[in-house]
Structure 1
Amino acid sequence: MEIASRRTTPGDQSVIVENDTKPSPPQRRQPEKQALRITAIYLLVAGAWAIVSTSILRLVLQDHDLGTVLVLQGWIYVLATALLIHYLTYRSMLRLQVMSHALSRRKGQLQALLRVLPDLAFRISREGRILSYHTPEDDLLTLPAEKFLGRRISDVLPREVSEPAMKAVRKCLLTRAPVQFEYELTTLNGEPRVFEARLSPLTGETVIALCRDVTESRRVEAERARLAAAVEQALEGIAISDAHGRVIYCNPGFEKVVGIPQSRILGRNIQALRSEYPWDYSPPGIQACLSDGRPWQGRITLKKDNRTRHIRASVSPLRDEHGRVTNFVAVLRDVTHELELENRFLQMQKMECVTRLSAGIAHDFNNLLTTVTGMAEDLLSRTDISDEIRADIKHILRAATSGTRLARRLVSLSKPEAVHPQPVILDHIAQNMSSILQRTLGPDIKLRTELAAADAPVVADVGQMEQVIMNLAVNARDAMPRGGSLLIRTERIAIGPQDIRSRLGINPGDYVVLAVRDTGTGMDPEVKERAFEPFFTTKTDSGSGLGLSTVYGIVRQHQGYVELDSTPGMGTEVRVYLPCSGEGRARRPPAEDHPDRAGPHTTDARQSGLRLE
């Protein structure tokens, strides 16, 4: 409890040296017993001398009278007493001198100890009165000496400090054992400081309190705790090994990144882990860098159980004061998801480039077809041609018309069509198309629906939504040549900020999901990556390769998002996300069960169908 403002000099009061408390009762009784023993011995010797000396002197001094004998006896007694007193005095003075020198040496040692001790020191009575003090620095104090010496702790310190201090004093005197506690005070320079007080009992009813400034050490401990918590809770994997590669620490993130339990990592060499857990490590140049004590960073590919993960890693050496490598620190970060998003973004850019290129070619191609169509119509208007030639010209005209429609569709991939968006319910559209879809799929494919978004309207063009459903259904049919089942389902979901990391180009909010799932042959990763590219098809007999690309273009035009999941031999599911609309009243489209309506949808879907294998 630092409550003074001046440095103690050797002539000042000292907490330890100025210990003028009375000795304890056992220490007082010891010199009293010694004095009683000396007095008893003196009385015995004196009595014996009084009895024996008279007879001896009368025998020796036969010619003298009794008075002379008594006088001589008295002088001998006085001389013996004086010699005894001189001996006892000399012995006591010599002992006092030795003790004085010992105390002086001890006092000097204690004063030297106080001068180098970084602690504040106070001698405190049972009542909490401050009897003396010592301070190494004036900046550690809060009050000048005249304001606290001889006063109680409760009178000079705040209550939140004085109460625990008095409890510590009483406990120290009661148990006769050291007591420790911490407190905080603002020093004379206005800085809040944290002190650690250690109380120890002295002789009598006083204690000595050593108060050390632990502000800096507590700050360092707090920083270390924050650093340890940051490392322990970091998403990145962090591991520390010794110079020989034996892992001595790894955080939970490291266990999650590498997929190996923490208990199996600690204390083992990384090479041993590679043999036990057959991951495929392929970091080029890492061994050479680590052998030379140079840092390394790069990408590691981990392959296990048909799963590939990409890890961005950095390994840095730790050196001691002599420059020797003592440890290695490895930081791993799983970038598989980021690479997937990057690949998706590149795929989107590639599709956009291909679409623009296709639209440009289609525009020029349409100009050529316009000339062909015009010339064919002029030839048909002539009357001097034979029926055989007229039939050939009609065939040319039909081919040119089909080419024109194909060119128009190519242009529509890059240029939004004129649509008529309005609030609609996808459930109603799917229900109205169920009969035409079943006829399109054929008898070997069973159509099922699970529609659960009747209360979630979307702003969309009804005709384009029908085209999306039809194209997805036809693609699914072509992927099930031996029959199967097709499921069309809808649901309303909420996509939060944490979900958009895996869905590039989508915003948080409420969406209606239209999912079409088949039990067909599925797709391998190479086909899945190119599924939405224009003109890409796995069918060799028919198909333009525009089915899924048309779906993609329509969905993006409606501010939506498309996902595709497929596994070879397990089937394919395409999910279309369309943003919900809370405005307006959803319109129920007219039924599409009439046979006349089936032809255009079926023909268009079959022409754009993409067989997904």
Structure 2
Amino acid sequence: MPDAPDAPDLARATALLEALPSAAALFLRSGMLYAVNTLGREWFVVDSRAPLSSQPWSVVLLPLGSAGVTLLERVVAGEAPTTYHVPLGRAGRLVDLRAVLFDRELLLLTATDATAQDEERTKAARVDRELSALMDLKPSAVRITDVAGRILKTNGLADLEHPTRPPATVRELWECDAPHDVANNRPLSFLDSPAMRALAGTVVRRQLLEVRRLGAQRVIESFASPIRNQQQEVTGVVLLDRYVTDRERLERQLQEREMREAELRQHVTYTREQLERLVEERSRAMIASEQDRLRERRLTAVGQLAAGVMHDVNNALNPIMAAAYLLKHYAESPDAVRDYADRIQKAAEIGAATASRVGRFIRQEPVHAGGDEALELSALTEDVLDLTEPMRLRRSSESAEIRIVRQFAPAVSTRGLPGEIREALLNLVQNAVDAMPEGGTLTVRTFEEGTDACVAIRDTGVGMSADVRERAFEPFFTTEGSKGSGLGLAEVYGIARRHRGTASISSVPGRGTEVTLRLPRAEGVAAEPGDAAPDAAPRAVVPKHILVVEDHDDGREFLRRILQADGHRVDAVGTCADARAKLSSSAATPYDLLLTDVGLPDGSGWELVRYVRSHVPDVRVGVITGWEPMTDTGESHGAEFVLRKPLRAAELQAHIAGGSTPASSNE
């Protein structure tokens, strides 16, 4: 096809198009393609194998839809140049399409990529909408300014503050507000206003101002932060004002109330000191008489116990004396002798039962095997806490709450009488609650330690002094005045001893007390041969050489005769010295067994037991005592068995014949 008149040659036209930063093409007025640059070949439909002049613009501009052809036709019709914003094919690219008359025969069409610009415009619009929504949600007045101080954007609350004269600049805002610096109690100058300080690059936080807004004087907290560009140049300011008028009023009221409370506390302190002085003076006057009353009360309690014991003992002695008289009178009648002997035995057993009740009172008599049962200490302790809950709730209040901390180990088992152990735990819990009149923490632990199953009850109360702690387990000893009987911890101690365990106290005055019960673990408790019925079938007697040490003449003689009646060879003495002399001189005919009382004129029977163990260890040792078993048991001194008076002959015979056998108590 020949060149159009006045059209530039193709090479020069192509070079001109390559210099453009857009996809560009020259079209003849006839609608055929004349020239196209490289970017245009990529964006438009250009057949590189066919002559350009054979390709119409309706085909070349297909990726632009109808927009390209329409734009060229309008230019051919003489309309003013315009720009179309259209998508390019399916690539998602947006282009700015423009067509102009290049010369009389040629039309120039350019397509410039506007995708990034459109995204920026869309993003800016979204950010603007989000910022507007955020500002409207803020419960504060928000203003955004430019670097010249012109207010560009506000939220709804800021628009309501000055309805008659909305400020357009930060100066006008300062004039409308007439701000007063609350902290420094002076009017705030324009240059010291938060907006101007932020324009100078300073971040302002919580500046307390009094301003004129919403038709009244208000107190606000003002915040201001500079807006910076990528070069860290200040381009504007964000202002945020939060109303704190009500808070300021409440703070002033709180300060006034605190001042009144401080005055009231001072008055209460003075009054309390006066009362404490009066109480101390009255207390000094009452201490002497109170101590006398406590002493009298203890003596009365001991007297009541002694009177009861005396009554029961006299009741037991009366038939013994009568039977002894009749025994002499009917000495020739075997049936009468046997009858009166049986009556004397029964009366003696009643007396022994009386002694046992006294033993149970102080709870130091060991529990009989077979009369006990397996116990799970954690469950038993939980039962006690449930039983004492009403008492704790009654003692507790909002200012004196008693909090329970349970630290139970699983399967902490022992054997014993559940009623007695429950009574001991109940006493300990009640004592712990009483020790915390101002409230505190009651910690209850169960655990195993060695061969012991343990329960520990700790309070955070007043604690004990060393003197009180030493006497805490004594019967009738109390620090609670008329409110206490002095038997609680004594019963706890006795119950522990009856169950072959221990009770111990650790305490710090002012910080609390912990009482720990240690009982034999269940697998360590076994039935005892000594608990067998005293009237069991007699054993075969093997004669032995026995040394009896008893200071009571009748008791020594009766014991000697009982042993001789069984065929034993018996020597009987009344003192430790005589016993040691006998033991030292018995090399030719050594003793098989030593039977000793505890209370001897020249020493303790336990000392004699230790002497035997160290000097003649082959001699077996048994102890016979009328005292209640105390902390040091026979086993700890080396005695094979311990028997309590009154003595049962069958029980003694069983121990002599059966070897090392633990003792039982008389019930």
TM-score category (smaller protein): 0.3 to 0.5
Give the alignment's TM-score, normalised by structure 1.
0.32
Q: Which has the larger radius of gyration?
A: 2
